[in-house]
Amino acid sequence: MLNRYNLIAGQSIERLAAISDGVFAVAMTLLVLDLHTPEAAHIHSEAALWQAVVALAPRVLVYLMSFLTLGIFWVGQQTQLNHLERSDRNYTWLHLAFLFAVSLMPFSTSLMAEFISYRVALIAYWLNILLLGVILYVAWVYAFRTRLGKPDVSQEIDEAVRRRIIGAQSLYAFGAALCIINTYWALGFMLLVQLNYALAPRISFLSRL
């Protein structure tokens, strides 16, 4: 009876997409809560307000990066789900693990924003991105091998999805390694990677990444 239940559990792609949209929406909303306006009691001139706003720049940068990160992974997850005909129990739990990693993003973002010059914060932030990529990759490989995809999912599509995830994670890893020089170098490179995937410029070399 238990095995029979496992065979019928978690088959709805629509429900999986619905809970994913909800978790992504909450996580993306929570990101902005780490941005706080300057305290009015400490502001007594235009110059003081300007200085306070400029001081917020690192937090705004990390917020932008994290919003782009979640946006990119939301698109990646939806791309997978759109190519599936059905789900199963194992695939559903893989995506629940993926959503766990999504829910960690507000925390790793806050840690990075608070300690932006510390390598430990940068590595923790990168590990969050790595976890997202690894789970998404494993989920896709599992779905393709167990034939959960639609009939028109070809080998070329499979390879394109895998290449996209591996390429992105390789670039993120290289960016994280730049923290050996400076965390700002690392964040700057990772931001460029995100802008490439978000804007998708029509440059032959970049379009292969």
- 30-40 tens-digit pLDDT: 988 877 776 76
pLDDT in tens, 101-145: 999 999 999 999 999 999 999 999 999 999 999 999 999 999 888
- 149 forms bridges with which residues in the sheet? 84
Task: Band the pLDDT of 187: cuts 50, 70, 90.
Answer: very high
The answer to whether the CB of 66 falls within 8 A of the CB of 31 is yes
Question: 3-13 burial string, b = 16+ CB within 10 Å, else e?
Answer: eeeeeeebeeb
Judged by DSSP in three states, 149 sits in strand
The predicted structure's pLDDT at residue 201: 65
Please tell me the distance from the alpha carbon of residue 17 to that of residue 200, in angstroms, as a whole number.
24
Nearest to 129 by CA among 203, 197, 201: 197
Is the pLDDT at 205 greater than 60? The verdict is no
Strand-pair partners of 84: 149
> Which pLDDT score is estimated for 33?
83
Residue type, 112: M
